[in-house]
């Protein structure tokens, strides 16, 4: 097992290296660099651009150097935890991103928990009551949930809350807490607001998971061992929980890996619609302003989280299912 973990972590390094290169290329794609935008803005407002200041800025960020040098400067900083300077906020990137990334992760993790808590019981119910009214209802709702994109649900949610309650559900904090330091009251305030994005984000995943649990459990319920157990007089409830459900819930473990990236990725747009102080809106702004270090750090960190998520689920799977462990060792 240790060797397997070691090998998986080793594979991560080239993956992250290639990701960092792609990120850098993507961020460099727009014509011109931040400074050209900056100069254009200054000229629009009628300010005189000082050649000397611009030259010093260019030298400081290495914008006059060839691309590989710029990449090297950037990536060696990132590895040491220095993400560079955000041009538009005039602050180090690391001061801007951690709180926002933290909130994004909090929302994603809570969403994931909610998804399981809702989806597993409903999936079990649907499978044991196949083709009954509620099974059809859940199947139907599930399909709609899978088809409705998060940002549209967010729009509908905004509309309903605004027209029914007269308030906007956007944001994560009440006005009084937006810039306040973290206190217990602020956490409570956060919890009062966080259910909206969590609800919106959970819909898609829940719908998918219900269908998966239902299909797996239906397969298991036909197995001879279930009939044997029933013939031996095991109570229906214990029979269900003890064997088939455990197998049916297995895919949850295997999907943690891509559920997290899916959530992170989906939350970007939902958060923009709900104007949450998370990474999504800041990433969008950074991309629009060509604030390359800020945007690059976000894409890089979100990708890293994705890779870590995949790693975790692979390890969990290997831990749960010995076949994977041995197959990998053999090859």
Partner 1 sequence: MNDALMKRKTSEERKYLAGQWRLMWWKFLDHRLAVAAMCVLFFMYLMAVFCEIAAPNGPNVRSAENSFQPPERIRVFHEGRPHRPFVYGRTVHINPETLVRTYTDDTTRLLPVRFWVKGDPYRLWGMIPMQRHIIGLDSGDRLYLMGADRLGRDLFSRIAYGSRISLSLGLVGVFLSLVLGIIIGGISGYYGGVMDILIQRFIEILRSFPTIPLWLALSAAMPAQWSQVRVYFCMTIILALIGWTGVARVVRGKILSLREEDYAVAAKVAGVREFTIILKHLIPGFASHLIVTVTLAIPGMILAETSLSFLRLGLRPPTISWGVLLQDAQNVRALSLYPWLMWPVAFVIVTVLMFNFLGDGLRDAADPYSH
Residues in the site for partner 1, rule: CB under 8 A?
14-15, 18-19, 22-23, 26-27, 29-31, 143-144, 146-149, 151-152, 155-156, 158-159, 162-163, 168, 170, 261, 264-266, 268-269, 272-273, 283-284, 287-288, 290, 295, 298-299, 302-303, 305-307, 310
Question: Between 235 and 288, whose beta carbon lies closer to partner 1?
Answer: 288
Q: Which one, 245 or 303, has the nearer CB to partner 1?
A: 303
Q: What's the rounded Cα separation, in Å, for the pair 309 and 326?
A: 22
Q: Read out DSSP for 235-266?
A: -HHHHHHHTHHHHHTHHHHHHHHHHHHHHHHH
Nearer to partner 1 among residue 220 and residue 279 (C-beta) = 279
State the minimum distance, in angstroms, from the CB of residue 229 to partner 1. 26
CB nearer partner 1, residue 115 or residue 290: 290
In our burial notation (b when 16+ CB lie closer than 10 A, e otherwise), range 103-138 reads bbbebbebbbebbbebbbebbbbbbbeeeeeebeeb
Nearest distance from C-beta of residue 156 to partner 1, angstroms: 7
CB of 93 to partner 1, least distance (A): 15
- Residue ranges of alpha helices (H) inside the chain are 2-28, 34-44, 51-61, 67-79, 93-128, 133-147, 150-160, 184-221, 224-231, 236-242, 244-248, 250-273, 279-289, 292-320, 322-330
* Minimum separation from the CB atom of position 302 to partner 1 (A): 5
139: alpha, beta or left? (left if phi > 0; alpha if psi -120 to 50) = alpha
> Which CB atom, from 53 or from 137, has the smaller least distance to partner 1?
137
| Shortest Å distance, C-beta 15 to partner 1 | 5
Q: Closest approach of Cβ 231 to partner 1, in Å?
A: 26
Bridge partners, residue 86, by sequence = 91
- Comparison of 164 and 231: residue with beta carbon closer to partner 1: 164
The single-letter DSSP state of residue 86 is E
């Amino acid at each position: 097992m240790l060797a397997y973990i070691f090998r998986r972590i080793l594979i991560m390094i080239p993956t992250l290296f290639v990701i960092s290169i792609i990120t850098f290329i993507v961020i460099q794609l727009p014509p011109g660099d931040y400074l050209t935008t900056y100069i254009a803005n200054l000229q629009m407002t009628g300010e005189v651009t000082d050649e000397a200041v611009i030259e010093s800025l260019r030298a400081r960020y290495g914008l006059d150097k060839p691309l590989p040098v710029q990449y090297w400067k950037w990536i060696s900083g990132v590895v040491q935890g220095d993400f560079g300077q955000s041009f538009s906020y005039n602050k180090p990137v690391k001061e801007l991103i951690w709180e926002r990334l933290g909130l994004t992760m909090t929302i994603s993790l809570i969403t994931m928990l909610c998804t399981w808590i809702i989806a597993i019981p409903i999936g079990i119910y649907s499978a044991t009551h196949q083709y009954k009214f509620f099974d059809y209802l859940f199947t139907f709702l599930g399909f709609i949930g899978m088809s409705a994109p998060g940002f549209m649900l967010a729009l509908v949610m905004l509309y309903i809350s605004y027209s029914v309650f007269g308030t906007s559900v956007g944001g994560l904090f009440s006005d009084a807490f937006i810039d306040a330091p973290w206190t217990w009251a602020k956490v409570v305030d956060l919890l009062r607001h966080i259910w909206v994005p969590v609800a919106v984000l959970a819909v898609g995943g829940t719908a998918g998971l219900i269908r998966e649990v239902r299909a797996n459990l239906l397969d298991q319920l036909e197995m001879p061992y279930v009939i044997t157990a029933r013939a031996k007089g095991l109570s229906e409830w214990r029979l269900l929980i003890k064997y088939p459900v455990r197998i049916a819930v297995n895919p949850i473990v295997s999907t943690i890996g891509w559920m997290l990236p899916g959530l992170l990725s989906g939350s970007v747009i939902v958060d923009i619609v709900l104007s949450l102080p998370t990474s999504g809106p800041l990433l969008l702004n950074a991309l629009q302003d060509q604030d390359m270090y800020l945007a690059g750090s976000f894409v890089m960190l979100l990708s890293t989280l994705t890779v870590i998520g995949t790693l975790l689920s692979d390890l969990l799977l290997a831990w749960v299912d010995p076949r994977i462990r041995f197959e990998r060792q053999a090859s």
